Structure 1
Amino acid sequence: MSSFESYHKEHPIPIKSTTSWKYISLITITIIYGTTLLLFQVNSLYINHKQVRLQNINNYQSNNDLINDCHENLFLEPSNENGKIPLTFQAVRNGTFYPNIKDIQWIQTPNSLTDDSGDYIVVDDDSNYYLKSLQNDTSSTILYDLGDSINYENKSYLVESITFSNDLKIALLTCNKVHNWRHSYFASYFIYNVETKEIQPLIFNSIDDNSKIALAIISPDSQKISYVIDNNVYINDISDFNNAITKQITSDGSSEIFNGKPDWVYEEEVFEGDSALWWSPDSNHLLILRSNDTEVPTFPIPYFVQEDANNRSSYPIVEEIKYPKAGFSNPIVDIVIYDTKNEVLKSLSSEDPFYNDKDIDNYNKLITEVIWVGNQQVLVRVTNRESDILKIFIVSCPSDTLEINSIVSRFEDGRNDKSWFEITHNTIFIPKSEKRQYNGYIDMIDVNGYDHLAYFSPPASSEPKVILTSGDWEVVNGAAAYDFVTDEVYYVSTEKSSIERHIYSVNLDGSNKKNITDVELEAWYDISFSKGARYLLLSYMGPDVPNQRLLDLHENSSYEFSSNDDLQNTLDTYDIPQNNYGNITLDDDLIVNYKETLPLNFDPSKKYPLLFFVYGGPGSQLISKSFAISFSSIIAAELNAVVVTVDGRGTGFRGKKFRNIVRDNLGNHEVLDQVAAAKYWINNKGYIDPERTAIWGWSYGGYMTLKTLEYDQGKTFKYGMSVAPVTDWKLYDSVYTERYMHTPEQNFEGYNGSRVHNFENFKGVKRFLLMHGTGDDNVHFQNSMQFIDSLDLNGVENYDMYVFPDSDHSIRWHNAGTIVYDRLFVWLKRAFDGEFDNIYSFNSLKKNMNEIDEEFFINLYG
C-alpha cells in the first residue's frame, strides 16, 4: 500500500525498448487499478466489453451466463443522437484512448552542473535509441539499433530495458525478466559496447548465473557496474570492456541476510523499488544496505496453477516470504560502505551514535532514505518503527582513512501532535559554490502543518538555513531540481488547488518565487529535468488530452515533443461521460473534494444509480485533474450510473490536520465521510435512486468498502464490491500499519475497532461481493478467509465471492486481469437491475447461529 513516489535521483533512468514499452503498457492498462495503493485514477482500464444490452432477468443466473450474454453484443457500436459513438468497454480495452507519453533518459556530462547541454536519449518506434541535444537540435546519433532482441551463444534474449552510461560508451541491457515481487525481478544482464556493438554478459563466466541477477547499476563515472546475486553485492570494473574485473563485496548473503537488495517489506513499503545500493557522486564509495531478517517471521503462500494446465503437480508450490506483520519483529537494518580506491568494506564502530541512539533502538529502526551530500558524506534518514520519531544522521567516509563515523544532525518528534513521518525519497544535494562555503541539501519540513521546502547547509546543520516555501498548501515530492547557474530551486505544489499540479521556482535564498506553468489553466503536470536543470520535459497530463513540451528555462523557449493529435481526433468521434470537479461541505463545516462522472445524455429529472469509488488510505489522493478514460467512465456510460469519488479525511495534500485525524483509528473518520457524502448526493442532487447505491474499492479501498458497509448497515449504500481488502490490521505488514496505528500492544482498542468486526451489520446490506487472489503477497488471502469464516459463524449469507488462483495483489495471473473487471461489471449490472432483490435469504429466518442445533444436519441421500 505504499504511495507512488519518484525513485532514484542519482542513477540513470532506464529507457524501455519499444517492444517492452508496448508490453508494459498493455499490462499496466489491464491491471492499473490493482496496484497496492490504488492512489489515483489513471488513464484507462481495458476491459473486454462493448455496448451491453441485457434484458431484465427475473431469475438468478450465473455470472458466466451473463458474461456470455454480454459478449454476444461485443461488436455493436451504436451511434447516439449526436452521431457520436457511446463509450464502450471494448474501445477502452483496445487502447483507443491511451495517450502517447514518451520517456527520455537525461545524460549527465562532466559539465552538466555549470554548462547543461541538455543531452538526452529517446527511443523511436523501431527500437532505435537516439542521442539528441537541446543545444544542437540538428544533432541525432544512433546509440543502439539491434531491435527488440539480441543473440548470445545461439540463444535469443528479449531486451526489456536499456540504461546508458553517462559517458555513452556502454549500455546495460536488461533481458528476460522473471517477476519476483511488485518492483523486483531477476533478469539476464548484458553489457553493450556502443562503439563496437559488442555484447557480453555481466557475469561472463556463467551464463546460468547471469540469468539470476537481481539488480545492476552503472556507477556515475561509467567505469563500474554494481550488481546483486544471491543477496550478495559484486562490482565489475568495466574500464576495459573486453577484460572486466569482478570483485565480490559481501559474502554473507542468504535467505536471511539481504545485501544491496531490499527484503519484501523494504521493497514494498520503504524504498518502493528493488535497489538498496547508492554510489557516491565520484564513484569512489558504494553504500550498501544490509538487512538481517533472521527474526522476521515467514509467511507461506501456496501456488496452485503455476505449471501448464495439462501438466500440473499433485502438490502446490509453497513460497515462504519474510513478512513482518504488525507487532512482530522487523528486519534489523545496517549500512556498510565499500571504498573502491582502498578496496575495503567500511563499517561504523559499535560505539558510534548510529548504534547508540536513546530514542531509536537498533532492533526497531527504519532506514528510510539514503542520499550522498558530497563525495565523502552521506545522509541517512532514520525513524522508529512507529514512524513518529525522525533522526537525520550524517555519515562521513573520508578516503584517507579506513574509518567512518556518524553524527545526529536533526531530531524531529511527532508524538505530541499524533503525527507521523511519511517515507519519502525527495532530498536533493546542493553543492557548494563560490557564493557558498559548504555543501547542503533541500528537504521537506513541516511549516505550520503543511509540507514545505527547507535548505540545510552545511549538511550537519540541525536547523534550516532558509525556509524556501510556506503557506496553506503543500509541496509535492520535495524539490524537483536545482539549477547551479541561476541558483533556482524548482518544485511542484498544490498552491493553486489540491487537485492540480503546477510548477514553480524559488531562489535558494527564498526570494523571487515564480510560476513556471500558467496557473490560470486547469492542469496536472509531470516533470523531468535535465541534469543541470536548465531544460525541462514538461508533460501536461490533463484534464484535456496530454501533450509534452521541452523547455529551455534559461532562454524561455519551448519545443513540441508529443501532441496526441490522433487521440484528440478519436475523442471527437466518441461520446464520453462528463466529469465534474468540486467540493462539498459535510457536517461540522468539513470541506472535501469530489469528482463526479455523469451518464451519457444525462437528464437531471431522472433517477440514476449511484456508485462511489473509494480508496481513502492515509496520505493518498484519488481526485486529480488528469486525463482519464477510466473504469468510472465505463460504468457511467455502460450502466447509466452516476459515479462519485470523494477524498475524505486522512487523504493527502490538504495539510496535517486533515490527514492526521485518522492516527490510531483507521476506518472511522474515512467511513463517516463516505457515508455523509453519499447522503449529500441522495438528499440534495435530486437525480439519485436511493435504492440503487453501491460502493467499491481495491486494497485499502476494499477495506474501506467493507468498513463502510459495516457501519452503514445498508441504510445508505445498498451494495458493495470489495477487492483484495485488509480486514484486520494485525494481518498487514508492520511498516505500513504501525506508521498509522502504532503497534497492537500500544493500541489494542484501536486495532480492535479498526478491523472489520461487526458482522451482524452486514445482514442489512442487500448484497456485497468479495474478490481476492490466493497468491497475494501484499494483502494476504488470509484476510478474506478470516472474514468469510466470521460471516459463516454469524450466519451472513448475502454475499458473493470470487477467488483468483495464484494472482497477486494486482490480480492478473492467467487472464485474471480481464476476468476481474468482467466480474465487477456484471455483478454491478445485476445489482442496479434489481436482480439481487429477489434472491432468497436465510438472514431473516435466524438471528444468529446460536439458535441452530450443533447436531443439525441435512440428509443428502434421502
Structure 2
Amino acid sequence: MMEVNREDYEALKDDLFDGRLHSSTSKKQFFKDGLLIPSMILVLLLWGTIVLLKVVPILTAQEIRDHGRLGSHRNFYNQNGGKALNSRHTKDGSLKISFENVRNNTFKPKLQSLQWLRVLDFETNDRGLFMTVSNDTYMVKSVHDKEYCQILYQGKDITIHGTAYKIDSLVASPDLKRLLIRTNSVANWRHSYFGTYYIYEIEDSEFYKISDNIAVAQWSPNSIDISFVQDNDLYIYSTETHSISKKITKDGSENIFNGKPDWVYEEEVLESDTALWWSPNGKFIAFFKTLEDKVKEIVIPYYVQNEINHTNGNDLYPEMRSIKYPKAGTSNPEVDVWVYSLEEDRSYPVNINKEHRSNPLLITELFWVNENTFVTKVSDRSSDVLTVLTVDAITQDVNTARNDPAEESWWEITHDTKVVPKNPSKGRDTDGYIDIIPVDGYNHLVYYKSYQDSEPIILTTGNWEVTSDAISFDQENDRLYFIATKKSSVERHLYYIHLSKPGKVHAVTDTDMDGVFSVSFSPGNRFVLLTYRGPDIPYQKIIDLRSKQKDHHTRGNIIGETLYYLEKNDELRHNLLRYSVPEKSFDELYLGMDDNGQDIIVNSFEILPNDFNPELRNHYPVFFFAYGGPNSQQVIKTFSVGFNEVIASQLNAIVVCVDGRGTGFKGKKFRSIVRDNLGDYEARDQISAASIYGGKSYVNAEKISLFGWSYGGYLTLKTLEKDAGEHFKYGISVAPVTDWSLYDSIYTERYMHTPQENIDGYDNSNVANVKNIGKCKRLLIMHGSGDDNVHVQNTMIVLDKFNSNNVANYDMMIFPDSSHAIKYHNANRIVYDKMLDWTRQAFNGDFETYN
C-alpha cells in the first residue's frame, strides 16, 4: 500500500459529566438551591485534590515531555481514569497511531528477499545458494552450509577511468564467474529502466562496458552470452570477446519494439520490462516484436520538471511526453513471437497474428518446456477464449494444443505455469506443465502430461482456490507445492500434493493458526524462504523441506526443518508495546439476497478506534475504504499499521473495508457477475454495508464516508452516484477512472468487452449522474497531472459534468507531474495529510453549511 504519515492534532472529545448529569433538567435542579453551592464547592475542592494526587504519580517522563512540548491546551483530563485524552494518548496512557510514527517506519516490519542463484548443477545438487549484500559486499552464501561464502564484489560503486558509478543492479552469471552491473539508471515506466551496463570479470577484477541507454539485459544459460535491447533493437554481447557478436534485429524504432514490451504490455500483460526468453540450452531466443504504428498517442504535459529561466526564456513551456496508449475499442499493438537461432544466425516469425492483423490477439505468456520447444498462451482482445500453442524452434512447426472458452467469465492474465520435465522412472514419458484453470467454479491445479494435450489431469478440487503466488515442483520427491485459500479466502497457506496422487492435499504451514504466508523456493525446490505476513507480527525463516528432522516447536510450518530465522522483527514487537493499535477484526457480512434469491455474503474487516465504547449512542463516524476491482482483494489477514489505523486513532472513527461482488478468491460466480457492467454490483454492496453500519446504535449515520484510489476512486464516485446521499455523506476519490472508454484496452476489455460490442454497458458504468453525487454533503477529488496510467483527463471530464450540472459540493487538488502513485515533490505526504484533515473537517460537521 501507499505510505502514510504525519503527526496530527485531534483532541478526543469526551463528556465531562457522567450519564446521570447529561440531562439539562437534572443539572438545573442541582444548581437551583443556592444553599447547595458552598457545600458543592467544598466537595469539588476535596474531590479535585484526590484526583490530582492520583494523577501525578502515574505520569511518565515521556508524558511530561509531551506536555511541555505540545502545550497544556493539548491535554484534557478524564473523570474516570485521570489520563490525558488527546491525539497522542489513549485513556490508559498508551501512545496512539499517528502519521509521525507511521512515516518513521515504527510499524514497518523488516522483510528480506533472497536472490536465489540458478547455478549450473542446481537440479542435482541444490545447496540453496543465494546472493546477498552485507557492508557493501556482494557475496554468495548457502542456506545449507552457513560457513560457505564466495565474495563476488566489494563496494557500492564501480570505478571506471577514475569516475565512480553507483551500482543500481547486479546479477551473477549462472557459473558465478561474471557480474552484469547496471549504473546511471533512469526510470521509464512502472517496471522498466534505462541504464549503462558493464561486465565484471571476477577472476581478473576487470570491467568491460557493454553500452549506454540499454533497456533490457539478460544472461544466457551458457554464462557467456548476454542479450540486450538498445533503441528497441535486440543484440547479443559475448563475454568471450567482450564485444557485440550479433545484432539480431535492425527495424527497432519508436513504433517497433524488439525484446521489450510497449507501455500496455509492460503494464497489463507481462508486468515486466522484458519480452525475451532464452531456451534452456542457450541456443535460441524467443522474443516479442511489437508494432505500434496504429496505436494512438496520449500526450502528457509536465509542468515542473525544470525551474523557469526568466533570463533566457528557457522552460517557459511544459515538457510534452507522448505515450502510445490504446484506449478501449481503439487499435491495439500488433505483437508476434519471433525465434532467433544462435547456431544458424537466423530469425523467423511464428506468425501468431498472421490472420488477425486487423484485430490482433493478445500474447499473454511464453515458457520453454524443453530445449527446443516453447508454449505460448494467446487470447482474443476481450479474453473470452484462451488458446495454447506449441512451437518447435527447429522445425518452426506451430500447433494448437487447446482452445478454452471462458464460459460467461474471462481469462485473467497469469504467469504461473510450471514445467514438469519428463522422467520415465517417475512415469513421466513426456514434458508437460502445471496450470491453473476453473474447476467447478474455483481456480485449481491441473496437469497436462504432455504440452500437446488438450485435456488435463485435475489435481485439486473444492470450494477454495489455488492462487498464482507460487507453484513449485520438487522432482526428487514428486511434490507440487502451492499457495491456496483452502482454510479461508482471507488467508494463504502453503500446501503440497504428490503429482502421482491427485486430490490428496497436505498442509505445510499450520492451518490451526490464522496466517498469510508467501514463499520463495530455491531453484532445486529443496529449500524455501517462508514469510509469515500476518495477522501477527511478520517473520521469515529458511526451511529444508527434505529434512527428516522436525521442529521442536511448531511456528508456521508443520513440515520441514527450520534451519534459521532470517527475520524475527523483535524490534517491531518491542516498539508496539508503547502503542495502542486499534483493534482490527475480520468477518463475513450478510448483505441480503441477490436478484436470484441467493445470499450475498462478502468478506470485510473493521478497525475500532481506541477506547471504543459500544454503549455510546449516535457517536462514531465510519470511514469506508474500498478498492473493489475485478479479481482483487483488500480483506486479507496481513499485518499492517498505516493510514487506516491513523484514521481510527486520530479521528475516533470506525474504519471498514468490504470486498464486494467482483473481487477475487471466492469463486468464479462471485467475481464474474460484474462482467460488462462495472460499477453496479460493487456500488450496491458498499451501500448495503453502509446501511448495516448506519443502523448500529453507536454509529452516527450522518458521518459515513467512503475513500478509494484508482479503481477505488472510481468505485467511490459510482457509489455516491447510486447512493444519492442516502447512506454515504462524504467521499474521497483519488486518481479515478470516470469513463471506461478512456482506460487502456487490455484491462478494460477483459471485463467490459469493447465499447463497440457493449455500448450500453459503457454508458451504465461511466460516472454520469453527477446530480446524485451532488446530494452527498461533500466530495474530495485528487489526481496527479502526470498520471500515465489513469490519465487526468478522467477527472477533468467529471469536473466538467459537475460544472454543467451546477454541482459545487466538492473540493479539488491536482498534483503537478505526479504519476498514479502521487509522489512527485513531496506529493505523497501532502495527499495523505489532505485526506486526514479533510475527513476531520467532514466528521466535525465543517461542511454542513455547504448544502
Normalised to the residue count of structure 2, the TM-score between the two structures is: 0.87
CA distance in 1, matches of 2:245, 2:836: 54
Q: Which runs of 5+ in 1 are unaligned?
A: 1-31, 34-44, 57-68, 204-209, 842-862
CA 1:496/1:54 → structure 2, altered by over 3 Å: closer, same or farther? Answer: closer
Question: RMSD value over aligned CA atoms?
Answer: 2.0
CA distance in 1, matches of 2:649, 2:835: 15
Cα deviation for residue 539 of structure 1 reads: 0.5
| 1:804/1:811 contact within 8 Å kept | yes
Partner deviation per Cα, 1:603-646 (whole Å, 9 max, x = no partner): 11232110100000000000111110121111001111100000
Counterpart amino acid of 1:497? S
Aligned to 1:448: 440
Cα deviation for residue 184 of structure 1 reads: 1.3
Structure with greater contact order relative to length (CA < 8 Å, sep ≥ 6): 1
Aligned to 2:589: 584
CA 1:738/1:834 → structure 2, altered by over 3 Å: closer, same or farther? Answer: same
Q: What SS is found at the alignment partner of 1:115? A: coil
| 1:504/1:514 contact within 8 Å kept | yes
Of 120, 131, 137, the match for 1:128: 137
| 1:100/1:564 contact within 8 Å kept | yes
Counterpart amino acid of 1:308? E
Aligned to 2:787: 776
CA distance in 1, matches of 2:316, 2:783: 23
Aligned to 2:385: 389
Cα deviation for residue 77 of structure 1 reads: 8.1
CA distance in 2, matches of 1:788, 1:79: 41
Counterpart amino acid of 1:314? L
Partner deviation per Cα, 1:669-715 (whole Å, 9 max, x = no partner): 000000001111111x3221101110010000000000000111111
Counterpart amino acid of 1:82? D
Normalised to the residue count of structure 1, the TM-score between the two structures is: 0.86
Aligned to 1:116: 126
CA 1:309/1:80 → structure 2, altered by over 3 Å: closer, same or farther? Answer: farther
| 2:308/2:315 contact within 8 Å kept | no
CA distance in 1, matches of 2:444, 2:668: 12
| 1:51/1:88 contact within 8 Å kept | no
Aligned to 1:63: none
Of 163, 181, 197, the match for 1:155: 163
CA distance in 2, matches of 1:790, 1:723: 17
| 2:10/2:87 contact within 8 Å kept | no
Partner deviation per Cα, 1:268-288 (whole Å, 9 max, x = no partner): 111111110111111111111
CA distance in 1, matches of 2:359, 2:589: 46
CA distance in 2, matches of 1:602, 1:222: 61
CA distance in 1, matches of 2:501, 2:436: 14
Partner deviation per Cα, 1:67-94 (whole Å, 9 max, x = no partner): xx99x999x9844343321111100001
How is 1:377-456 mapped onto 2 (pairs within 5 angstroms)? 377-398=373-394, 403-414=395-406, 417-435=407-425, 436-456=428-448
Cα deviation for residue 411 of structure 1 reads: 0.5
How is 1:689-704 mapped onto 2 (pairs within 5 angstroms)? 689-704=700-715
| 2:87/2:649 contact within 8 Å kept | no
Cα deviation for residue 154 of structure 1 reads: 3.3
Of 178, 202, 209, the match for 2:210: 202
Aligned to 1:144: 153
Aligned to 1:20: none
Of 454, 475, 479, the match for 1:488: 479
Counterpart amino acid of 1:545? I
Cα deviation for residue 55 of structure 1 reads: 10
Cα deviation for residue 189 of structure 1 reads: 1.8
Cα deviation for residue 356 of structure 1 reads: 5.8
Aligned to 2:667: 655
Counterpart amino acid of 2:498? N
Aligned to 2:291: 292
Aligned to 2:467: 476
Partner deviation per Cα, 1:363-387 (whole Å, 9 max, x = no partner): 3200000111111111110000010
| 1:453/1:479 contact within 8 Å kept | no
Counterpart amino acid of 1:557? E
Cα deviation for residue 231 of structure 1 reads: 0.7
Cα deviation for residue 656 of structure 1 reads: 0.4
**Alignment partner of 1:615 is 2:627:** yes
Q: Which runs of 5+ in 2 are unaligned?
A: 15-69, 76-85, 548-559, 594-598
**Alignment partner of 1:98 is 2:108:** yes
**Alignment partner of 1:165 is 2:167:** no
| 2:360/2:380 contact within 8 Å kept | yes
How is 1:296-695 mapped onto 2 (pairs within 5 angstroms)? 296-308=295-307, 313-348=315-350, 354-355=352-353, 363-398=359-394, 403-414=395-406, 417-435=407-425, 436-464=428-456, 466-477=457-468, 480-511=471-502, 512-555=504-547, 556-558=560-562, 559-588=564-593, 589-606=599-616, 607-683=619-695, 685-695=696-706
Aligned to 1:24: none
Cα deviation for residue 561 of structure 1 reads: 1.4
CA distance in 2, matches of 1:405, 1:528: 35
Cα deviation for residue 774 of structure 1 reads: 0.8
Q: What SS is found at the alignment partner of 1:265? A: helix
| 1:174/1:188 contact within 8 Å kept | yes
Aligned to 1:46: 4
CA distance in 2, matches of 1:437, 1:635: 59
| 1:330/1:734 contact within 8 Å kept | yes
**Alignment partner of 1:239 is 2:234:** no
**Alignment partner of 1:807 is 2:818:** yes
| 2:540/2:565 contact within 8 Å kept | yes
CA 1:78/1:614 → structure 2, altered by over 3 Å: closer, same or farther? Answer: closer
Aligned residues with identical type, % of pairs: 44
Q: What SS is found at the alignment partner of 1:601? A: coil
Partner deviation per Cα, 1:375-400 (whole Å, 9 max, x = no partner): 111111000001001100001112xx
| 1:337/1:347 contact within 8 Å kept | yes
